[in-house]
Amino acid sequence: MTSLLATVAIPDLLVFLLGALLCLVGAVSILTVKNPVHAALSLVMTLFGIAVLFIELQADFLAAVQIIVYAGAIVVLFLFVIMFLGVDREEDLAVEPIVGQRPLAAVLITALMASIVALGLVGHFEVGPATQTGMLHGGAGNVADLGRSVFTTYLFAFEATAGLLIIAVVGAVVLARRNNPDDHVAESQVEELA
Amino acid sequence: MNHLIFLIIAFPLLGGVSLIAMSRRVREPLAGWVATAAVGLSFLTTLGVFITLLGSHSGGPSHAVTQHLFDWINVGALHANMDLTVDPLSITMCLFVTGISTLIHLYSIGYMHGEKDFTKFFIYLNLFVASMLILVLGGNMLLTFTGWEGVGVCSYWLVSYYFQKDSAASAGKKAFIYNRVADVGFLLAMFVIFFNEHTLTYSKMTAHMSSLTLTMAVLALLFAAAGKSAQIPLFNWLPDAMEGPTPVSALIHAATMVTAGVYLLCRMHVVVSASPTGQWVICGIGLATAFVAATIATSQSDIKKGLAFSTVSQIGYMVLAVGTGDYVAAMFLMVAHAFFKALLFLGSGSVIHALDGEQEMGRMGGLRKYLPWTYGTFLFGWLAIIGVPPFAGFWAKGSVLDAVFGKSPWLWAGGLFTALLTAYYMSRLFYLTFTGSARFTEQGPNGEAAVAHPHESPWTMRLPLVILAFCSIFGGLLNLPWVHGFGLEAFLSPVFGSSLVVPADSMTKQFLLAGADALVAVLGLTIAWVLWRGRSERPELTPAFLAKVWYWDNFYDTIIGRPATALANFTAEVVDPLVLDGAVDGTAAAVGGLATRLRKVHNGQIRSYGVGIIFGLLVILVSFLVVVG
Amino acid sequence: MNHLALPTVSYAALAPILFLLLGGVALMVLSALSRRPLAAGTVTGYSVLIGFGALISALAEYGHVNGAGPSSTVASAIAVDGFSAAIAVTVSVVVILASLLSHGYLRRMQIDAPAYHVLALTSASGAIIMAAANDLVVLFLGLEILSIALYVLAALNRRSAKSEEAALKYFILGGFSSAIFLFGIAFTYGATGSTNLQVITRTLGEGVAAKPGLLLAGLGLLLVGFFFKVAAVPFHLWTPDVYEGAPTPVTGFMAAAAKVGGFAALLRVLLTAMPQLSTNWTPVVYSVAVATLIGGAVLMVVQRDAKRMLAYSSINHAGFLLVGIVAATSAGISADLFYLFTYSVTALATFGIVTMLAGPRDDDAGIDRLSGLARRHPAIGAAMAILLLAQAGVPFTTGFIAKFSVIEAVVGHGSIPLAIIAMASAAVAVFAYLRLVATLYRTEDIATVDLGYDDSLTDGPAAFAIGLSVVVTIFFGIFPAALLDFGRTAVAHLLP
């Protein structure tokens, strides 16, 4: 930890901690709040925290995109759906289908995260630091850098993403389109299975 | 012509397969003609290939042609391809295999007349020929082994052809089991050779092994050959195999399949000749078999069994020749033997056919008058096998005995004495069958039906007899001792190269040896005449010890059969229920128990499936942490 | 502004991907524009043609690579090598067979045929992208293209509640594993500064990693993502439920395509990007292989449902494929290539037969339904028996050669215990297969269930595909040399 403090300025560290805290608190509350609208708002909090982390990395453009696309468009869509289905529905979180699963989940996730962090901490290369990556240079160049890499290094990835999105849309349409009323499987049946 | 080599095998295979396909529609005699035509075409192809080979043969030392059909097995260092190799050795085999097969197919059309499973017989016969040709033409041991197994299976089917008869069914099984035992030898030989040479291809073998390994390889090969070629200690399946129809006995159990072991040893000459110990053992086994079988043959009352032991004895000579290193002599005797033994079997078949299936010589006699064609041709076969000059057997057996003399005079003496026995038992067989009084005209003591007028066989049966008789008379021309540069020796010797040991005797010595052979033949013939003229039974000359094959079967029964049965019973009654069932049931119970416990994890809940993933991930990461930290 | 140098694109090398992806998109547009629903036959024919196009272009790529050697294209995002060409060939064959096998089923179940084929084609393109990906990001996208289409395909059978259940389970757990995988990519990028496989391996070669903690975290997460996709124990728990619930032809397609894509990517990542870490990943793959072999075989024995049994059978096969990875030699890779191809063909055809028998609602594949099948329908029974024996690894079938070459490779590598475990698991599995074969040939209590599905047994295209698969299974079982050589040559031209 000492080496970390030596290389990072205190303000930077504070901003990072703030962003991280936002992410974590948001994420945990998505799971724990009862009201779905509150859960969606918690998601906004997490996404906002990520935007803060982007800014900390001087990736200004991505921070803006993060806010506009995720916090703006996607969560709004979520909220629409939630409203559509009824805001007042609350999930009963008191029932535990498998006894002891929640403590077990907490223990497992903690252990998992701990082991990942531990792996990150013990790691170092004989030459150079544990990681090969660093911050982007300069906020204003972001857009150009991003655009360039999308059309050069990640050209195929970019195009493949287009394909992926088409398939996601096709899939959504196929699942949503129910021409034949006979096709409906009783709602209760599906819910039971999930 | 060389790209057509595969046709040699393809014709009989196609014949067999198409007969299978059409077996419901094709009946007698068409099936027989189709099969005969298939083998005949194969013979013509062989002839074409042979002539091509002769043409190229004169051009230079290269005399092996390989047709690569396709890659077969290509695993690691093992490259066993579908390669058909034609060289003087394999083409010689092919020529007489296809030639005699054609004749015997033709003969069978007459012999099998009226059989219920007429078509099936010819299917088996064609498949046998195809397998035999794969065995002969295979360019590597694995391909030869394929053919080796193929002929074994066909032999099993054909021996058990009259499977309604218990004796035929069990004879088939016996033949099959003996052959399977011998296959272990073949497999061992392949393992040893592949392990040391990293190849199974004949042309690439070098025999660069330690002498102990070499000896092991040769002994394994000899064991394999002993099974297929009915040598000691695995010879006693062959007489039982006579339960099959007589053409089968002639084709498979006299002329072709049983010589496969000798062929294998010739093919592997590089390995065989590199092991002097192995050669001595081969000589010993060959001579012992020749002698033992000859003694047994003196006391047989069944004509086919007599001929069967004669076959065993003659193959013993071939093995003996291989042991001396004179592979050409072995091949010469093989070819000559194929002619006269096929002739003798077909002749005996003709006799049996005429007597409505009677095989006991006690019920024959005087057939000379009734079966003139059979008698006439059988006569030449008889003279040929006992080695009367100038028939084929004289030259062939002579060249073997010359080679044996070069190896050791003691062996030669044994061989010569066996030749005397040969002359004796074959003459006895001949006299009992064709001369003396006709004993079949009245009802036999055991209720055998009388046959008033035996009929000579139809022309399809007589023609092969005549052709084979011709070959038995003039077969010696293939390899006359004083003619060099022409004949089998000149043709075959390049194949064997330095492995070949040819006796370089002076003219005088050759004449003396040949004279001894001829003398022994005439002596045996005379002794038999004196002892058996006009007699049909002389129990004092056919002791039970010999008639019962030296009690060989009883011996095996005592040392292997009974202990094995006892062991099997013990296993079935004690080991199996207590130990094996326990182990198997235990394993099953363990698997079942484990499965039942594991199945509980699959409870259909996504969350618990997720736990599986997280848990696995955690284990991996912690293990990494342990390694790194 | 700087001049933007666009990367060169070798469209010939991308042709198999483009055929499938664009073919799928074009079919979607066509079906949307046409006034009447497209005839099922037309769509199947179209799909088969697209599959053939992909197959021919993949073979052309293979030939090209054999001459010109391996290379990469589109800014080294896609590997143009023998390995990706061989996988493209396999996937194309899977597409062709799957199209034929699904034809009658889609008609019977009144499922929208274009939807199925669009999703199957694009999903297959995802498998090829995974195999050809030379960059972890591209690999991830390929994985998602493959998976998302499969999630939807699994839900296609509206008549069965199990189908939607399966899709939902697959989707949630798949998303979970994708997140883990993505996490792994992020750590790998953090440790090496690149997502490009060549750059990663170069970095690993230069900076000698004394304690590559971050990288190992990445490796562990990546491995789990892969293990989930290929259904290795203990990441396999979704498999039986999803295989059982999904429409049977989809199960077959899933069993083939997902496994091919997953294993191809796993092989490439471990052996070309991270060979330096083999001391770290070999024990992991080794243990997972052992668990997978044993778990798959043991659980197979107790199944009462053909689809579930085949699910565990595919898990056992995954174990064998992992054995080939443990060998980590070119022999191991080519053995895996052979295994993937032959397994795909037999698995597809086996599920094809189960499709015929799974009842009018495709929701009952109980083993009892197969009882005496061979007595009632000798040809189908014999085909099923052959396919099962091939999966069991009986000689003279491709299954034997596949298992043999994998085990040979791992013995050559020196892991004799693993070879013994693999053979023992095969022995246990054989029991389950043989029991099913015996059920097929049972004479008493022949299934007397409602034969309303008998028309499914006269499904021409499916019967053709099954017959073809049986022929392939036996032919390459007796004469495997050509196919083995194909794999060997492919591995010889693997992008380093």
Tens of pLDDT along B356-373? 778 888 778 778 888 888
Domain assignment of residue A3, yes or no: no
Domain assignment of residue A174, yes or no: yes
Domain assignment of residue C5, yes or no: no
Name which of A82-91, B319-328, C20-29, C305-314 the model is least confident about: A82-91
Domain assignment of residue A67, yes or no: yes
Domain assignment of residue A106, yes or no: no
Task: Find the mean pLDDT for residues B181-190.
Answer: 86
Residue B61 pLDDT > 80: no
Where is mean pLDDT largest: A42-51, B188-197, B354-363, B547-556? A42-51
Task: Find the mean pLDDT for residues B242-257.
Answer: 83
Domain assignment of residue C2, yes or no: no
Closest chain C residue to B617, measured at CA: C224
pTM of the model: 0.68
Domain assignment of residue C204, yes or no: yes
Q: What is the DSSP string of B62-103?
A: ---EEEEEEEEEEETTEEEEEEEEE-HHHHHHHHHHHHHHHH
Residue B584 pLDDT > 80: no
Taking CA atoms, C70 is separated from B164, C13, C66, in Å, by 66, 11, 8
**CB-side exposure of C396: number of CA atoms within 13 Å?**
1
Where among A46, A66, A90 does a domain terminate? Answer: A90
Q: What domain range includes position A17?
A: 8-90
Domain assignment of residue A68, yes or no: yes
Instruction: Give the closest residue to C279 by CA, choosing from C204, C198, C192, C188.
Output: C204
Taking each helix axis from N to C terminus, what angle separates B88-111 and B30-59, rounded to the nearest 10 degrees? 160
- A119 to chain B, closest Cα gap in Å: 6
C149, C161, C220: residue with CB nearest A185: C161
A108, A111, A119: residue with CB nearest B611: A108
Where among A55, A72, A90 does a domain terminate? Answer: A90
Q: Which residues of A touch C216 (CB under 8 A)?
A: 119, 123
SS (H, E, C) B377-428: HHHHHHHHHHCCCCCHHHHHHHHHHHHHHHHCHHHHHHHHHHHHHHHHHHHH
A84 and A22 part of one domain:
yes
Report the CATH number at residue A35: 1.20.120.1200
Residue A2, pLDDT score = 46
Domain assignment of residue A194, yes or no: yes
- B619 to chain C, closest Cα gap in Å: 9
Domain assignment of residue C306, yes or no: yes
- Which of A104, A108, A115 best tests the B interface by mutation, with the highest count of B CBs <10 A? A115
Residue C455, pLDDT score = 54
Name the amino acid, one letter, at C443: T
Would you give the end-to-end CA distance of chain C in angstroms?
36
Residue C472, pLDDT score = 94
Task: Identify the contact set of chain A against chain B, taking CB-CB distances under 8 A.
Answer: 97-98, 101, 104-105, 108-109, 111-112, 115-116, 118-119, 122-123, 194
Residue C54, pLDDT score = 95
| C116 part of contact set with chain B, CB < 8 Å | no
Residue-wise pLDDT tens digits, B131-174: 999 999 888 888 888 888 888 888 888 888 888 888 888 888 88
B72, B612, B621: residue with CB nearest C217: B621
Domain assignment of residue C108, yes or no: yes
- C169 to chain A, closest Cα gap in Å: 7
As for how many domains chain C has, the answer is: 1
B445 Cβ neighbours under 8 A, 6+ residues apart? none
Residue C229 pLDDT > 70: yes
As for how many domains chain A has, the answer is: 2
Distance of CA B44 to the CA centre of its chain: 23
Residue C50, pLDDT score = 95
CB within 8 Å: C301 and B623 = no
C272 Cβ neighbours under 8 A, 6+ residues apart? C197, C198, C201, C494, C495, C496
Q: What domain range includes position C307?
A: 15-493
pLDDT grade, residue A128 (50/70/90)?
low
Domain assignment of residue C65, yes or no: yes
Q: Torsion angle, CA of B366/B371/B375/B376, rounded to 10 degrees?
A: 140
Cβ atoms B400, B533 nearer than 8 A: no
Closest chain A residue to C204, measured at CA: A125
Higher pLDDT residue, B446 or A78?
A78
Neighbours of C450 (CB within 10 A): 9
Q: What angle do CA A152, A155, A157 make, to 5 degrees?
A: 140
Residue-wise pLDDT tens digits, C436-452: 888 888 776 665 554 44
Residue A5, pLDDT score = 55
Taking each helix axis from N to C terminus, what angle separates A155-176 and A142-151, rounded to the nearest 10 degrees? 80
Residue B35 pLDDT > 90: no
C223, C228, C241: residue with CB nearest B620: C223
Where is mean pLDDT largest: B551-555, C77-81, C456-460? C77-81
Q: What angle do CA C69, C73, C77 make, to 5 degrees?
A: 120
Domain assignment of residue A184, yes or no: yes
Task: Identify the contact set of chain B against chain A, taking CB-CB distances under 8 A.
Answer: 605-608, 611, 614-615, 617-618, 621-622, 624-625, 628-629
Question: How many angstroms separate the CA atoms of B407 and B287, rounded?
Answer: 13
Residue-wise pLDDT tens digits, B419-443: 998 999 899 888 888 887 777 777 7
Question: How many angstroms separate the CA atoms of C338 and A144, rounded?
Answer: 46
C217, C234, C302: residue with CB nearest B616: C234
Residue A131, pLDDT score = 58
CB within 8 Å: B615 and C213 = no
Name the amino acid, one letter, at C307: K
A12 and A86 part of one domain:
yes
Residue B388, pLDDT score = 85
**CB-side exposure of C43: number of CA atoms within 13 Å?**
34
Task: Identify the contact set of chain B against chain C, taking CB-CB distances under 8 A.
Answer: 70-76, 591-592, 594-596, 598-599, 601-602, 604, 606, 608-610, 612-613, 615-617, 620-621, 623-625, 627-629
Residue-wise pLDDT tens digits, A133-189: 655 555 556 788 788 888 888 899 999 999 999 999 988 888 887 655 444 444 444
A120, A127, A175: residue with CB nearest C214: A120
Domain assignment of residue A155, yes or no: yes
Residue-wise pLDDT tens digits, B514-551: 888 888 888 888 888 888 777 777 777 777 777 777 77
Name which of B68-72, B402-406, C304-308 the model is least confident about: B68-72
| C209 part of contact set with chain A, CB < 8 Å | yes
CB within 8 Å: C152 and A178 = no
Instruction: Give the closest residue to B351 by CA, choosing from B440, B425, B427.
Output: B440
Sign (positive or negative) of CA dihedral A141, A143, A147, A152: positive
Question: How many angstroms separate the CA atoms of A140 and C29, rounded?
Answer: 41
Where among A46, A65, A90 does a domain terminate? Answer: A90
